[in-house]
Amino acid sequence: MLRTQRNGGKREVRQDMSARTGEIEKTGRNLGGSAAMILRGVALTGLALYEGLLLLWVSLVLCLCFVGIGIPLLPGALNAVRKDARTQRRLAGEWSGVRVEASYLPEPAGAPGPVWKRAHRMLGDSATWRDLLWTLVNPLVGPLLALLPAAAVLGGIWGLSLPFVWDSLPESWNSIWFTFIPVDSQSTAILAAALGLVEVAAGLALLPRLMLPLHGRWVRLMLGSTRAALSNRVEHLASTRSDAMDMNATELRRIERDLHDGAQVRLVALGMTLSAAESLIERNPEAVRALLAEAKENSTKALNELRDLVHGVHPPVLADRGLVDAVRTLTLELPMRIHVTGSVPGRLPAPVESAAYFAVAELLSNVTKHARASEATVDIRYSDRSLRVAVHDDGVGGADTRNGSGLAGVERRLAAFDGLLVVTSPLGGPTSAAFEIACELTRDSAADAAAN
């Protein structure tokens, strides 16, 4: 019985030691996490100081623009501001768990154009002005939010040290303040140490978990989408939904008209010809032979018209080979030299492929009809879960979505998928038209592409 009691006592001691060890490890992890959050706050403060220097640089460049010297430097300065804003958005998601979406307008592909046009395009984007406002305000507000935990810990350590260093302080320090406590004796130094202990505990355990998420919300407030942008987004979606419904109705009417006026007439004529041949098969074999030849010709024409109709809805090469090869096949039928570059690592959803294909077809049709260009390029890329297509030509320029050149139809087609078309076409050329559609690669098509 004594041996059993001893074994039971040893087990209780081991369990108690294991529990204490677990508590110590948990405390260590919590302290390590708090220390990491404090260091992140220090890093954000350093980033805010860099933004202050960046603001001085951008201000200098803007001042130099009045005399023309700063114009070549302006796109680089604005890109530096955008890069800093992207870093802040990324850190807000990684460190604070606050997701902040960027809302920059897509850059047109092709030739970059003159420096002043790039600067004008960037300054015309409202997101650029939000970034500039961020570099103005955050050097003042950001450190208050990010550095408060570290300041609380350092201040608390100073308060904890006062009872031990009070006697050795210079006489000029006989009356100092710690927070709201006037430290002028040993007893007030002890009171300051008690308050310092509270500040250290708050700086390690409480403030990092409050201030970093608050800093993330500050980033979202300044660099996220505004209420006006969200309102415009809702109006845009309502408009594109209506346009998509109108386009579907128009497409159905076109298909019905083409079937009624084309293949249906051929098929009716084919039936009548075969009926006539059936009635003459015994009396006039020669006439039957002529009627069968006519029926064969009508069936061939009906098949070609059906094939053209299907090609207008969803080209077979698009279904078989994908967007890039379908566009390459399309360019072979056009009377000018067109280079197709780029690739898509997999297959896109069929509706997106179809919309992108017909958008490229319309853009190339505009090039051949209106641009008077000698050559053109089509670049197709997929990155960041978006399809990006750019069409560039060396024609006379002057393309406008409002003058009935077909670009408005491309915009309506892309709007059904929340796509965006950007056209840069100064008089005299060249012309660049780029569009972007956010989409995911279909898994089975991507696997097929990888297998091939």
Give the domains, in start order, of the chain with CATH numbers.
16-225 (no CATH), 249-313 (1.20.5), 320-451 (3.30.565.10)
Q: Compute the average pLDDT of residues 98-121.
A: 69
The one-letter code for the residue type at 429 is: G
Q: Compute the average pLDDT of residues 423-450.
A: 72
Q: What is the pLDDT of residue 8?
A: 53
Which conformational region is residue 346 in: left (phi greater than 0), alpha (psi within -120 to 50 degrees), or beta? left
Percent of the chain topping pLDDT 90: 2
- 8 Å CB contact between 98 and 51: no
Q: What is the pLDDT of residue 27?
A: 44
Q: Which residue has the higher pLDDT, 9 or 359?
A: 359
Residue 101: helix, strand or coil by DSSP? coil
Q: What is the pLDDT of residue 25?
A: 46
Other Cβ atoms within 10 Å of 170 Cβ, number: 6
For residue 451, is pLDDT > 50?
no
Summarised one tens digit per residue, pLDDT across range 185-208 is 777 777 777 777 777 777 666 655
The answer to whether the predicted template modeling score (pTM) of the entire model surpasses 0.75 is: no
- 8 Å CB contact between 57 and 77: yes
Q: Which of 35-49, 152-166, 233-247, 277-291 has the lowest mean pLDDT?
A: 233-247
How does the average pLDDT of the chain come out, rounded? Answer: 73
Distance (Å, rounded) from C-alpha 149 to C-alpha 213?
13
Q: Which residue has the higher pLDDT, 179 or 173?
A: 179
For residue 376, is pLDDT > 80?
yes
Q: Which of 294-303, 331-340, 344-353, 377-386 has the lowest mean pLDDT?
A: 294-303
pLDDT grade, residue 21 (50/70/90)?
Answer: very low
Distance (Å, rounded) from C-alpha 110 to C-alpha 375?
13
Q: What is the pLDDT of residue 445?
A: 45
Q: What is the pLDDT of residue 289?
A: 75
Tokens 């979505």 correspond to 401
- Among the ranges 126-135, 182-191, 292-301, which has the highest mean pLDDT value? 126-135
Total residue length of the chain: 452
For 409, what's the count of Cα atoms within 13 Å in the CB-facing half-sphere? 15
Distance (Å, rounded) from C-alpha 451 to C-alpha 325?
17
Using the CB atoms, write b or e for 263-280: b if 16+ within 10 Å: beebbebbeebeeebeeb
